[in-house]
C-alpha cells in the first residue's frame, strides 16, 4: 500500500483497494464478503450495518498502516475497540472477534495497537463524504493523533486491555461455537445414519 502522506484520502483508498485485491469500490455493495482463514474461505453476509462501518474501517487501515493480514486485522480491531466504535454495534462485534484472534496469536502486537488506540481517535464520529475524502492522509493522521509516537501505556491501559481482551475471547468463542455447532451436528447425524 502506498503510504503517501500527501495523497488525498480518496486516492489512498483506491490504492488500498487495488493493493489488497478488493473491488474498485471496496465491495461495499456486495451481498456477501469472502473472508479467508488461512486456506479456508468463508462467505459471510454483508448487511447494511456492516456496509456503514466499512468506509471508516478502510480509512483506519489507510491512516494507521495496519495491513489486511490476519495479524493486521487483529491489530486494527484492537485499535478500533480502544478508540471506541460509537453506536456501530457491528464494528464492536467484528473488532472484538478480530481482537480475539490477535490476543491468542499476536498478543504483543495487539496490546501495542490497543495502547495506541487509547491515545488516539478514529473516524466513527465523522461523516465519510467528499469533504473528508478530499483531505490528505497526513491531515487525517494529524487529527486522529496518529502522527505522534505510540505510547507505552499506563496501568489503566493495561487494565482496560485485560478487560477488553477477556470480552474478545468470549465473543470469539461464541462465534466459533456458532460456526462449529452445525458442522458437529451434521457429522454426528451422518455417523448415526451410517451406523
pLDDT digits (tens, 9 = 90+) for 63-77: 999 999 999 999 999
Higher-pLDDT residue of 151 and 11 is 11
Higher-pLDDT residue of 84 and 148 is 84
Give the 3-state secondary structure of residue 42.
strand
Give the 3-state secondary structure of residue 82.
helix
Angstrom distance (rounded) from CA 39 to CA 60: 26
Helices 107-118 and 89-105 pack at an angle, to 10 degrees, of 140
Contact 138, 63 (CB under 8 A): no
Q: Per-residue pLDDT averaged across 14-20, rounded?
A: 95
Q: What is the pTM of this model?
A: 0.88
Q: Exposed, middle or buried, 7 (CB in 10 Å: 0-12/13-18/19+)?
A: middle
Q: Per-residue pLDDT averaged across 16-32, rounded?
A: 91
pLDDT at 34: 81
Cβ-count burial 121-147 (b if 16+ within 10 Å, e if not):
ebbbebebeeebbeebbebbbeebebe
pLDDT at 130: 96
pLDDT at 129: 96
Q: Per-residue pLDDT averaged across 129-148, rounded?
A: 96
> Does the pLDDT at position 127 exceed 80?
yes
pLDDT digits (tens, 9 = 90+) for 147-194: 988 888 899 999 999 999 999 999 999 988 887 777 777 777 887 788
The domain locations on the chain are: 9-168
> Does the pLDDT at position 39 exceed 90?
no
- Whose grid coordinates read 462501518? 53
pLDDT at 192: 79
Amino acid at each position: 500500500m502506498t503510504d503517501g502522506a500527501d495523497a488525498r484520502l480518496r486516492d489512498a483508498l483506491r490504492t488500498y483497494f487495488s493493493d489488497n485485491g478488493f473491488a474498485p469500490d471496496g465491495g461495499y455493495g456486495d451481498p456477501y464478503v469472502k473472508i479467508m482463514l488461512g486456506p479456508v474461505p468463508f462467505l459471510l453476509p454483508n448487511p447494511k450495518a456492516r456496509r456503514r462501518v466499512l468506509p471508516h474501517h478502510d480509512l483506519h487501515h489507510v491512516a494507521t498502516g495496519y495491513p489486511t493480514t490476519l495479524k493486521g486485522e487483529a491489530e486494527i480491531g484492537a485499535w478500533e475497540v480502544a478508540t471506541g466504535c460509537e453506536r456501530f454495534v457491528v464494528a464492536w462485534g467484528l473488532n472484538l472477534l478480530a481482537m480475539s484472534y490477535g490476543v491468542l496469536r499476536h498478543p504483543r502486537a495487539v496490546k501495542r495497537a490497543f495502547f495506541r488506540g487509547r491515545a488516539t481517535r478514529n473516524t466513527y464520529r465523522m461523516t465519510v463524504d467528499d469533504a473528508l475524502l478530499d483531505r490528505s492522509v497526513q491531515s487525517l493522521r494529524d487529527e486522529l493523533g496518529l502522527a505522534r509516537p505510540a505510547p507505552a501505556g499506563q496501568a489503566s491501559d493495561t487494565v482496560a486491555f485485560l478487560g477488553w481482551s477477556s470480552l474478545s475471547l468470549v465473543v470469539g468463542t461464541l462465534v466459533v461455537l456458532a460456526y462449529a455447532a452445525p458442522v458437529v451436528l451434521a457429522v454426528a447425524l451422518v455417523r448415526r445414519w451410517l451406523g
